[in-house]
Amino acid sequence: MAVWMTWINFVIPRFFPELNKPVAKPIVKVDGELEDKSVDADGGTTSEKSPDANLQRDPDAAPANVAAIEAPKHASISLQLGPVDPDKEPDGVLNQQVDEFFLATSLNSEGAAVDFVELTNKKRYPAFGHRGNRVRVIGNGDAEKRSGRETTLKTFALRSPQIDKLLGKSSLATVAWEFIPEASPEAAARAATFRLKTPDGHWELTKRFELKQLTHDELKRDDIQKTFVEGYELALTITARNLTDQDQKFSYTLQGPVGVPLEDAENSYKHRDVRMGFLRDDGKSLDENKLSAAETVKKAKADKTEVWTRKLKYIGVDVLYFAALVIPDADQVNASKAVVANENPLKSEYSDVSVELKSDVKVAANSEISHKYQLFAGPKRKELMGQIPAMAVMDYGWFDAICRGMVWLLNMFHHLGLSYGIAIICLTALVRTLLMPISKHQAANAAKMKELQPKMQAKQKELEAKYGKGTDEYMKAAQELSKEQLGLMMSGCLPVFLQLPIFIALYRAIGSSIELRMEPFLWFENLASPDALFHFPAPIPWLGWTDFNLLPCISTGLMFIHQKLTMPPPTNEEQAQQQKMMSFMMIFMGAMFFRVPSGLCLYFIATNIWSMTERWLFEHLKKNKPAVEEAPVTNLATQPNAPGKKEEEKPSVFGGIWDRLQKSADNQISATRQLESNSNRDDKRKKKRDK
């Protein structure tokens, strides 16, 4: 007994103190209730319900001791679907799957979300300013990272209030999900699956991403890159499995595309827009709308963000050349809204915007539901957009038909083997050739204005001497004279107004056509952006210019020379002052066009050179043409059987418009000559009266 007491009271406390510690009481979950379980003397367990076990709880609320339920711990990994960039592969091994995928997607197990999406065809779609790199359609957050304004939102991340409460400081958008490997390397190249079981054991969530891999037959098609919309889609399947014996409600919010790239923001007329298409009651037609980034920021600051509850066809973000649109597979989205992912404090229109899609669904006991989404991330081509359908993102404005015709002509010249720079010059020549009758009329009118200007001035002085300046007779006669001058001036301006729709359409075509994006010509790398010959040491004050663009200077200089050649010499101080104002206006126009795309400047240069050459040609032909005494052709025209009158030929279908334009130009020239003849006749009568 003494030995036993010495062992219990002296040896064990001194040399084995851990044996005297109280028995631990682990917290476990049984039938959804928290229980304290203690190990009894026989090695079994005795249960004692927590004091809060009998309280009624909110089904969306976390357990009372949520800190004791640890979030699942899985490895944080990053993987890629589709081909790896050949320039970034180790040992320079060329990936043979580049042509089989249009997209390359980087996924992260943290949130089971998308890091970025790139287009694999970097020859056709290079990164802006980096011709050898792929362009990122989603996740282009480099500028935000450099400025310290990196967003925490991730594309296709999930949030669920009822589950996020169980994860403590983490959430479904940040916690690491379990990666489930695919059965074969071929499947692993195009698909990836992530799984997460909630700490309370009620839910098992699965997210599966998949890219379309083209077959050998599909790769043989020449236009596959322009027409196969499935190749630009990333499929997402969200599966929620109810592990309990009771029906449960599952609510989640899906994050839309984040970080759609904003290219050449300073020189672009379009920035990020939230695009959406809602199905009408007939289930077929669409109501399409857009919300700019500036409007999204303004509504978010005023806490007036609009929530859309209509049936959704597509929603996402688009920029000038690319679009990232989420397309639900069925009527599974209950509400959607635009959100600000990253606000630009200086210019709200540069802010990164995104969308959120909310779904509420009831899942039966021991069953599951699956929601499918397609994420289109690709170029804004008509052939692709029409299959979504999302035609609104291809709207060129008022002159849509003319603009599409311009793009078609540019592509036609390009398919003949010409570069797009030469194609623009050929397009200029074609347009100017079709407008030659109008140009001829304008040149003839300008020449007559030069000749009649001194006579008009003399006529005005004669009226002042005859009636006195300010009298009723003088005002009436001066008004008649002004009508004649105004008619000549308006007829001279008519060709300019007729060319205005072509100019606007070409501006929109060059500035927004995906075909001209990053197309090089001469020394400039991009026909759709200013030529940017060199960078200024510092931005120009008030104007904010950071690059020197040579082509707008050349265009302005040629327009100034063309103006001097066509404008008649001033006959008084008022006209001289007007011409000076026109010269200053030309400089102002040069400043306005300083940031236009280099392709449009190329059109200006070609147009001005063509116009000056055309004007010289008309004047040269007029000088070499023998003078012919005019005959009273008007009397002959009134006689149906007059000798020498030719039978009027019926114009052809294609030549009718040309003939009418030519006739209009000839009639204007005849009217001008008649006006000059009347002026000479008045001078002769005056001389006779003086004698």
The enclosing domain of 155 has a CATH number of: 2.70.98.90
Q: Domain for residue 6, yes or no?
A: no
DSSP class of 544 = -
Q: Domain for residue 450, yes or no?
A: no
Identify whether residues 306 and 422 lie together within a single domain.
no
Identify whether residues 374 and 432 lie together within a single domain.
no
Q: Domain for residue 146, yes or no?
A: yes
Q: Domain for residue 308, yes or no?
A: yes
Identify whether residues 202 and 322 lie together within a single domain.
yes
pLDDT digits (tens, 9 = 90+) for 242-279: 999 999 999 999 999 999 988 888 888 888 999 999 98
Identify whether residues 292 and 423 lie together within a single domain.
no
Domain span including residue 323: 66-395
- Tally of domains in the chain: 3
Least confident of 165-174, 301-310, 651-660: 651-660
* pTM attached to this predicted model: 0.71
DSSP class of 573 = H
Identify whether residues 329 and 434 lie together within a single domain.
no
Identify whether residues 382 and 415 lie together within a single domain.
no
> Tokens 């083997």 identify what position?
417
Pick 504 or 399 by higher pLDDT.
504
Burial class (CB within 10 angstroms; exposed 0-12, middle 13-18, buried 19+) of 668 = buried
Q: Domain for residue 460, yes or no?
A: no
pLDDT digits (tens, 9 = 90+) for 128-154: 888 888 999 998 554 444 444 556 889
Q: Domain for residue 159, yes or no?
A: yes
Identify whether residues 346 and 428 lie together within a single domain.
no
Burial class (CB within 10 angstroms; exposed 0-12, middle 13-18, buried 19+) of 613 = exposed
DSSP class of 71 = P
The pLDDT, as a whole number, for residue 324 is 94
Mean pLDDT value of segment 26-53: 37
Pick 231 or 72 by higher pLDDT.
231
Report whether pLDDT(52) > 80: no
Please tell me the distance from the alpha carbon of residue 45 to that of residue 74, in angstroms, as a whole number. Answer: 30
Pick 393 or 610 by higher pLDDT.
610
Identify whether residues 252 and 373 lie together within a single domain.
yes
All residues at 6 or more sequence positions from 223 whose CB lies less than 8 Å from its CB, including other chains: 383
Q: Domain for residue 471, yes or no?
A: no
Least confident of 73-77, 233-237, 282-286, 290-294: 282-286
All residues at 6 or more sequence positions from 556 whose CB lies less than 8 Å from its CB, including other chains: 586, 587, 589, 590, 593
Pick 382 or 328 by higher pLDDT.
328
Let me know the angle formed at the C-alpha of 463 by 458 and 468, rounded to the nearest 5 degrees.
130
Strands 307-308 and 248-255 turn out to be unpaired
Sheet holding 136-138, edge to edge: 78-81, 103-108, 113-119, 136-138
Mean pLDDT value of segment 122-131: 86
Identify whether residues 549 and 595 lie together within a single domain.
yes
Identify whether residues 349 and 270 lie together within a single domain.
yes
Q: Domain for residue 76, yes or no?
A: yes
Domain C-terminal end among 395, 430, 453: 395
Identify whether residues 169 and 239 lie together within a single domain.
yes
Identify whether residues 623 and 589 lie together within a single domain.
yes
Q: Is the peptide bond before 389 cis (omega within 30 degrees of 0)?
A: yes
Please tell me the distance from the alpha carbon of residue 269 to that of residue 548, in angstroms, as a whole number. Answer: 19
Residue 223: other Cβ atoms inside 10 A: 8
Q: Dihedral sign, CA of 664, 666, 668, 670?
A: negative
